[in-house]
Amino acid sequence: MRLYQEDSYATRFQARVVRAWSDEQGHHVVLSQTLFYPESGGQPADTGVLKREFGQVRVLYVFEEAKAFGDVVHRVDGPIPEGAEVEGEIDWNRRFRHMQRHTAQHILSQALLRAGGYHTIAVSLDSPVSTVDLEEEVEEAKLQEAEALANFAVYADYPIEAFWVSEEELARYPLRRPPKVQGQVRLVRIGDFDLAACGGTHLRTSAQAGPIKVLKWERYKGGSRVYFMAGWEALEDYHAKHALLSRLALSFSTSPLELEKPVRRLQEEVYTLKGENLELKEALVEALLPRALEERVLLVPAPVLGDLAKRLLSWSEKTFLLLSPEGRFAALGPGRQEVLERLKALGAKGGGKEVVQGSLPKEKVAAALDPSLVR
């Protein structure tokens, strides 16, 4: 018996183990009744514990042996014998979040239908950022309208109820989408806003699902995929983003909603400075070239070390050693490996093919500036 369909707010229950087995997946039990929701319909499984008189096992995953009407199987982290009496307790924090995601999805799917005639064909509620896949490609304005409609439905505080009807009675109900199962069908009604066939767990009222925030959409399989967050998780997302924007705003001495201006200015400055920097480096390399060709062991600023080495490579076949005041070096020419060996004696590390590069301790730079190294 699926107790979660009777009362989605109950967290504890008593049950007997009616089947138990172990295989390569782990230990499994089927209970006489359960509050544990098995993964289905895009809603993730519950987790929790099964307590016995002495000790307990953790419920790691719950699934259906056969879709909708098969046994609910609990994968647990230790064996329990058949016939054992257990007290089950679900992880309520996890479940409540799932109920918020799931109920919000019902509301949003109806809102998308009303705002743009968009039909939900698949959902994923596995993570705080949930998705609904739509048959159609959405328009941005319609999507915003759907978000507003969904939150109006939240504020309307509609009661939510689940009830069973027979297949014959089904025609009397204007369902958002037809059921996938046959026989007795469970319907879920959100006030006069939404009616759908569903076996999942739902909140008592639409208000508990809010806020509902659409994050973005993208084209997907000829239709679109809409990303959203709901309930606590939407609030947590708001908190994280607000904290981030506030920190950034503080560092720019502005307010969060005024951040774009200084960031744009910073990007432009960086772009300009990069261009200037490139020109200055090129000019410096050209200015250093005659001296480098003559002296062959030279102290140069680190930012032009590599460029100057490349320039020398195209100008001369002799051996050169360039050093920066911080200890970076580049050696090139036929004697570069010998230069590297001698620098290693000073504590240098490095390697490379045409140009040997690396670094040595700063205090050894003066000792390394020895013209005899390249003779």
| Paired tokens of 46 | 């519950």
Choices 76-84, 112-120, 196-204, 313-321 (CB under 5 A): range interacting with Zn ion: 196-204
CB of 192 to Zn ion, least distance (A): 17
What is the C-alpha separation between 209 and 188, in angstroms, rounded?
15
CB of 90 to Zn ion, least distance (A): 17
CB of 244 to Zn ion, least distance (A): 33
Nearest residue to 160 (alpha-carbon basis) of 225, 231, 107, 92: 107
Interface with Zn ion, residue 125, by CB under 5 A: no
CB nearer Zn ion, residue 98 or residue 336: 98
Which of 80, 132, 198, 339 touches Zn ion by CB under 5 A? Answer: 198
CB of 163 to Zn ion, least distance (A): 13
46, 92 contact by CB (below 8 A)? no
CB nearer Zn ion, residue 185 or residue 198: 198
Total chain residues near Zn ion (CB under 5 A): 2
Choices 124-132, 198-206, 219-227, 246-254 (CB under 5 A): range interacting with Zn ion: 198-206
CB of 144 to Zn ion, least distance (A): 25
Interface with Zn ion, residue 179, by CB under 5 A: no
Q: Given CA atoms 41, 38, 92, 179 in this order, what sign does their dihedral have?
A: positive
Reduce the DSSP state of residue 72 to 3 states and report it: strand
Choices 191-199, 286-294, 295-303, 367-375 (CB under 5 A): range interacting with Zn ion: 191-199
CB nearer Zn ion, residue 179 or residue 200: 200
Estimate to the nearest angstrom the gap between the alpha carbon of 129 and the chain centroid. Answer: 8
CB nearer Zn ion, residue 2 or residue 342: 2
CB of 154 to Zn ion, least distance (A): 16
Using a 10 angstrom Cβ sphere, with 0-12 exposed, 13-18 middle and 19 or more buried, the burial of residue 248 is: middle
Interface with Zn ion, residue 104, by CB under 5 A: no
Interface with Zn ion, residue 200, by CB under 5 A: yes
Interface with Zn ion, residue 88, by CB under 5 A: no
What is the C-alpha separation between 89 and 76, in angstroms, rounded?
13
285, 307 contact by CB (below 8 A)? yes
CB nearer Zn ion, residue 86 or residue 107: 107
What is the C-alpha separation between 341 and 98, in angstroms, rounded?
64
Nearest residue to 50 (alpha-carbon basis) of 72, 21, 29: 29
Amino acid at 231: G
Place of tokens 């647990």: 76
In sequence order, which residues have a C-beta less than 8 Å from that of residue 218 and are 6 or more positions away?
Answer: 224, 225
CB nearer Zn ion, residue 3 or residue 198: 198
Provide the binding-site residues for Zn ion, judged by CB under 5 A: 198, 200
